[in-house]
Structure 1
């Protein structure tokens, strides 16, 4: 179930001004302006697996429904938020203006394949850019997105019982 394909050219984790730029959406959520990012982003709270400190990351929502949200790790399984959720899957997110208790469930490569195909249908340009960013070759055909989706670590953030969204 772990996505450990070492033949992929994963993007380098951001440092310097790139890291700062990628963290700006966290500031938007922090001052109550997260809804400006639309329904395609959420703020994930996670606990550092080494430090035990509260951490935050803004992630793109690739699918959502009344029972939860699905996100992808563009930096692969080595992203800190992904590794932290592996250690502590119960956490909180902020979607729009509301907090939600969630439990992370790590999806299989076959589940990821279907999610990527669906995402590419709904957001073709974003899917192509995401795959390019991750070094995954796609040619626009469903089969190529399915293969790319098998290489991407997808996480389902299931809403806690009694806290399901209407």
Structure 2
């Protein structure tokens, strides 16, 4: 599996799947979640409502998949990152599960290229360096023949620099 780090707007990437840092309600919001819902159009929210009606809120660390609407990707994998609470409330395990569960869904849907946003590092307050270490460790531990390329699409320069340093 190839790992690539770029500084980019994830909504513009032509990959098989992008990973959304979603709210547990799956109803869109601010940050990358809002950007994905706006760029992808109403079909993503409609699919999220169906999922939510079936299962309720999506707990931290879990992931669900929808179509990508008007985005250049085929799928959006929505995962709910943990809110940083000092690190003693299971945040590292939940964050790791975000990446692993997203990759499991990707493999089940024969996704070859997947792009991750920087989960939990915005308003959820997860320390960026710790989050990057967990993300890379989780991705490197995952084994599935179908997933050939993982892209970390960093929106801000601080995350981009951290990921570049850790990948090299």
TM-score normalised by length of structure 2: 0.33
Over alpha carbons, which structure has the higher Rg? 1
**Greater relative contact order: 1 or 2 (C-alpha under 8 angstroms, separation 6 or more)?**
2
Q: Per residue, is there more strand in 1 or in 2?
A: 1
